[in-house]
Amino acid sequence: MCRVLIYLGQQETPIYDLLYGPDNSLAHQSYAPQLMHHIQNLAGLGLCAWSHHSVNAELPFYYKTTELPFFDKNLYRLSKKIVTNCMLAHVRGVEYSTNETVADQNVHPFKLENTQIAFAHNGNLSGMSEMKQMLTSRIKPEIYSQIKGTTDSEWIYSLFLTQLQDYTAEISLDEAWDALLKTLIILREIREECGINEASPVNLFVTNGKYLIVTRFVYDFGCNINKVHKAFLEYHSLWATFGEHYGIHDGVYKMLGSDKRRNILFASEPLTNDRTAWIELPEYSITKAWIENDEVIFRTHDLIV
Amino acid sequence: MQTNMIKNVDLLHDLTETELTFLSDYLTKKIYSPGEVILHQGTSYSDLYIIESGEVSVSVILPGNTTIEATRLTSGQIFGEVAFLAHTLITATIAAVGTVECIVFYGKILNMLRIAYPETAYKIELAIAKQTNSKLTGNLVRIKELLRTIPVKYRTVSQHAQYLPDPTAMVEEVEATSINRELIKHMDFFLELTEDETTYLLSFMSACKYDKGYRFNTKNAPGKLGLICSGAIMLFITDGQKLLKSLAVSGVGELFMQNFLSQEFGLIATYVTCEKSITLELTVENYMRLRECNPYIFYAISQHIHGTIAGSLYIVNRQFVRMNSEYKDLLA
């Protein structure tokens, strides 16, 4: 199981304050998660971080490594110097299995060079090998040819880009939203055609640096009756917090101020041991957040596909 | 502590004089000064507080570190009950308004009673569960009001309410013994029981297989509990026959209750299967029969049932905070 965070705000925040600073930061979650029963086998960290003040602001600082974040001294040092107004970061967790490939191309987030949209996934699609043949015909050839890794997530990303009118152009929030829903519907259809009914979590994270979309969803939730060890699979957690200013207050990282909601942060787990100022997103849901009149707005919708 | 100090406490009404005398040795009286914080939101406690005199303020910290006062509690009312039974984090900060005197019932005492005097523990837990159940119903009404407050142009249609229920979805009774026994063994509900006790309990239960989209008829329906063995069940807030909004999802190993402690719940909420599901079910009638036939099993599962009722309040409260936060910019 992976760990993900996505931030969108008016405030340019040092990425250190998200990755390393808080007592349950993403780096901390990678080896001592609080909401998972066991520690994951780490397979890398990646991030896309946008900043209004950087050169070529529409391009994110894009970093991927199979190194573990707590050993990555370079990232640690850089994180104190790089600020972001939108960041998608992902720690990849894989099964203890020789079937897994630990490699750069499998590290999230995924972002093709010729699109602005970055994408990450927390979960896994059961029966992916059976699904691949059908998926191939549903993905645009020029996108299919850019699949480099072995993850199901990259296939979902490719299918998502295919649903966009022109994935290389500026994509509106509405178009990205519709494309993500179409992607989930196609995956459902293919699962049905392949006779796959094992629970498959798909917490998805999409952003172009200006808006974000997150899902908290599991196909066929609870349908693992013949595999007792998997039967109690819970919904992958997803939390959010928002406020006027993000930083250290009274020795604890938190969002402060609610007069103007300038920043929003979603994460697999609250970034602080104190979960007071965090809310959990509902199961079977899709949420979008964007900036309007200097404020972050977010809306959560039921997700049925 | 004097027995007469606790015998007027609503929560302990069903206890006999002997039980009260015994319990009084284990309860502690505490006095809090004006403004003193008794419980901090987000921390874990496992003790129950009964207000003997004075008033406490219940406030909730929202994202943005804003604090709002949710309510005030006075003499005879309780707090900390959700964590006491369900071991969840404290969902609100409780502070003394003036000088407050509380009777503190430590969680470890309840654990001791469960082993030594299960009947006494059961009576206390049941009284708390009933109070919690009324709070739960009250909070469902508040959520319903909140949904009405959202301006129509911003009101998003509940996709689950609109598309999930399927009038053609069927239910079929299956043999309880057909459920994977290994799965049952791993469920918290059966965890305290031996193999033989589990078999005995299963003889009181039925099993049902539901299609996705099956809507339970909770209004005026006889009370029962369901234990999910496969699939998932979604809790909806209702307005008459209309489903308004989904609030929570229960998955494998979790309980869902229909009119178990009162009929009030069925008037404002119902369930719909959100996946093909298989459940083990126990009617209130059989549950009470079990009390006569095998009190040990009865008390063991009662702990779990009461904990689930308390936990439901935690889930509904968190959803209320989330919805309130999401629409803050509109409701303000």
pLDDT at residue A56 tops 80: yes
pLDDT, tens digit, 9 for 90 and up, residues A6-16: 999 999 999 99
**pLDDT digit string, tens, across residues B249-265:** 999 999 999 888 888 88
Residue B7 C-alpha, separation from nearest chain A C-alpha, in angstroms: 36
Look at A231 and B274 and tell me if their CB atoms are within 8 Å. Answer: no
Report chain B residues whose CB lies below 8 A from the CB of A254: 65
Measure in Å the smallest separation between the Cα of A54 and chain B Cα atoms: 28
- Choose among A223, A258, A299: nearest Cβ to B64: A258
Q: Which residues of chain A are within 8 Å of residue B65 when distances are taken between CB atoms? A: 243, 249, 254-258, 277
The residue type at A200: S
Whether residue A226 is predicted with pLDDT greater than 70 in this model: the reply is no
**Chain A environment of B160 (Cβ under 8 Å):** 284, 302, 304
Q: Does pLDDT of A250 surpass 60?
A: yes
Give the class (CATH, top level) of A3-302. Answer: alpha beta
Q: What is the pLDDT of residue A84?
A: 98
3-state secondary structure B184-239: HHCCHHHCCCCHHHHHHHHCCCEEEEECCCCECCCCCCCCEEEEEEECCEEEEEEE
Asked if B328 and A261 come within 8 Å (Cβ–Cβ), the reply is yes
Beta bridge partners of B172: B209
Q: Quick check: A258 and B328 CB within 8 A?
A: yes
The verdict on B42 touching A (C-beta cutoff 8 Å) is yes
Asked: is B3-116 a CATH 3.40.50.2000 domain? The reply is no
Contact B327, B62 (CB under 8 A): no
Using the 8-state DSSP alphabet, how is residue B248 labeled?
E
**pLDDT for residue B237:** 93
pLDDT at B70: 84
B228 interfacial to chain A (CB closer than 8 Å) = yes
Distance CA B214, CA B233 (A): 9
Judged against a pLDDT cut of 90, whether residue B77 lies above it is answered with no
Cβ of residue B166 closer than 8 Å to a chain A Cβ: no
Task: State the pLDDT confidence band at A251, using cuts at 50, 70 and 90.
Answer: confident
Q: Give the C-alpha separation, B261 to B256, whole Å.
A: 12
Structure-block tokens of residue B203? 């003889």
* pLDDT tens digit sequence for A153-165: 999 999 999 999 9
Chain A CB contacts of B63 under 8 Å are 240-243, 255, 258, 277-279
Domains of chain B, residue spans: 3-116, 136-331
Cβ within 8 Å of residue B196, ≥6 positions away: none
Which of these, B79, B197, A281, lies nearest to B70 by C-alpha position? Answer: B79
Q: Do A274 and B42 touch (CB under 8 A)?
A: yes
Closest to B305 measured CA to CA, from B318, B317, B290, B293: B290
Q: Which of B64, B89, B180 sits opposite A243 (nearest CB)?
A: B64
| Span B55-74, average pLDDT | 88
What was the pLDDT predicted at B240? 87
Q: Pull the structure tokens for residue A40.
A: 């994951």
Angle at B292 between CA B286 and CA B296, to 5 degrees: 95
A-chain residue closest to B254, CA distance = A232
Cβ burial of A99 (10 Å; 0-12, 13-18, 19+) is: exposed
- 8 Å CB contact between A261 and A296: yes
Q: Quote the minimal CA–CA distance from B26 to chain A in Å.
A: 31
SS3 B159: helix
Q: In chain B, which among 91-150 make CB contacts under 8 A with chain A?
A: none
Among A31-35, A267-271, B309-313, which is the least confidently predicted range?
A: A31-35
Output the pLDDT for position A276. Answer: 79
Give me the mean pLDDT over the B177-201 stretch.
92
pLDDT band at A54 (very low <50, low <70, confident <90, very high): very high
Q: Pick the residue with more confidence: A141 or B240? A: A141
Q: Is the four-CA dihedral B179, B184, B189, B190 of positive or negative sign?
A: positive
Q: Which residues of B touch A244 (CB under 8 A)?
A: 64
pLDDT of amino acid B330: 56
The torsion angle over the Cα atoms of residues B9, B10, B12 and B18, rounded to 10 degrees, is: 70
Q: Using the beta-carbon criterion (under 8 Å), do B63 and A232 form an inter-chain contact?
A: no
Model-wide pTM > 0.90:
yes
Q: Are B184 and B279 in contact (CB under 8 A)?
A: no
**Mean pLDDT score, B69-77:** 89
pLDDT at A37 over 90: no
Q: Does domain B136-331 have CATH number 1.10.3710.10?
A: no
Cα distances (Å, whole numbers) of residue B3 to A18, B12, B285: 54, 11, 34
Mean pLDDT, chain A, whole residue set? 92
Give the pLDDT band (50/70/90) at residue B329.
low
**Bridge partner list, A42:** A93
